[in-house]
Amino acid sequence: MHSLLSLKRACTLATLACAALASTTALAQQQFVNVLTGGQSGVYYPLGVALSQVYAKSIPNVRATAQVTKASAENLNLLQAGRGELALALADAVSDAWKGDAEAGFPKKLDKLRGLSGTYNNYIQIVANADAGIKSLADLKGKRISVGAAKSGTELNARAIFKAAGLAYTDMAKVEYLPFGESVELIKNRQLDATLQSAGLGVASIRDLATSVNIVVVPVPADVVAKVGDAAYQAAVIPANTYSGQAQDIPTAAIPNFLVTHAGVSDELAYQLTKQMYENLTTLHAAHNAAKAIRRDSALKGMPVPLHPGAERYYRELGLIK
C-alpha cells in the first residue's frame, strides 16, 4: 500500500514537472509584436489595432499590441532601434529613411528596414473652414494652417506639396505642427483656418470637422503634383461626397503606404505577419474603409526597401514572385 502511494505521488510530481516544463517552453516561445501606428484620429491607428487583434488571435504564442506614435518618421526610427516589429509608413518617408535623409528626420541610413507589404494610398487632403475664404493653394498665403506633427509623413508631404506650388511656411500667418484631431478642434474654435492631412479617404478627423463647420476641400492640381518630382506622388481624386458638403471631385496627390518590419524579425514571424494579414482582410476592412484597397497583387508595387525573406516566402507561395 505504501509503495502504491509512493508511486502515485511520484507520478503526480512527474505530471506537475512536465506541466511546468511545457509552461516554461510556451513562455520561451512567446513572441511580442508591437505594431507602430500614428495618432488615434488617423487611419494608421485603427488599422494597427485590427492587425494586432488578428495576430494575437491567429499566430500561436504571440502577444500583439498597437502603439500610438507620431506616424511615419518616428515609426521607422523605432523599427531601426528594434522597438517595434511592424510599422505603417508613407512611401516617401520609407525611401528617405533608407537613403538617410537628415532633413526628413533620418540622420543615418536606416539599414535594418525590410518591406512586408503595400497597403492603401494616402491622399493629400487640404481642408479649410469655408469662412476663411480659401479656395486654392495660393489662398493659403497669410492664413493659419496645421501641417501634422513635425517631421511626420504628413508634414513631409506638406513641405513637398507647398514647395511644388511655390509656397513656403513663411508665407503663412501661422503654422502649427499638430496631430489630426487637435488640428480639427482648433479649426472648430476658429484658431486655425485650414489643415493639411495625409490620410486614407474618409479619415475620421475630417469627417468630424465636416459635420461641425462648412468646409472647403482645396484642390492640388495635377501640374503641382508633377512638380514634386517624386514617383511616389501620383495625381489622384478625392471623390465627390467623401465628406459632408464636398459636392465635387477634388484633384489631389496620392502617396502609397507600406507595412515595414526589420531584419531582426525572424523569417517565420515575418511570414506569419504577412500571411495572416491577407487571410484576415475582412477584419481590416471593418476597422477602416481605406483598408479595402489592400490587395495581394499590388503588395510589392513600388516597395522602397528590400523585402523581408519571410514575406518573400509568402509571395513566392502565391506565385507573385517567380
What gap in Å lies between CA 117 and CA 123, rounded to an integer? 19
| Closest alpha carbon to 257 in 105, 123, 110, 167 | 123
What gap in Å lies between CA 77 and CA 81, rounded to an integer? 6
Taking a C-beta distance cutoff of 8 angstroms, is the pair 188, 161 a contact? no
Q: Which three cell numbers stand for residue 101?
A: 535623409
pLDDT tens sequence for the chain (322 residues): 555 445 556 555 555 555 444 434 444 578 999 999 998 888 999 999 999 999 999 999 999 999 999 999 999 999 999 999 999 999 999 999 999 999 888 999 999 999 999 999 999 999 999 999 999 999 999 999 999 988 888 999 999 999 999 999 999 999 999 999 999 999 999 999 999 999 999 999 999 999 999 999 999 999 999 999 988 999 999 999 999 999 999 999 999 999 999 999 999 999 999 999 999 999 999 999 999 999 999 999 999 999 999 999 999 999 999 8
What gap in Å lies between CA 46 and CA 199, rounded to an integer? 12
* Residues contacting 40, CB < 8 A, separation 6+: 68, 181
Domains of the chain by range and CATH? 29-119+256-318 (3.40.190.10), 122-255 (3.40.190.10)
Question: Would you put residue 206 in left (φ > 0), alpha (ψ -120 to 50) or beta?
Answer: alpha
Residue 276 to residues 170, 208, 269, Cα–Cα distance (Å): 46, 32, 10
Strand partners, 81: none
Q: Which three cell numbers stand for residue 204?
A: 475620421
Q: How many CB atoms lie within 10 A of CB 211?
A: 11
pLDDT of 24 reads: 40
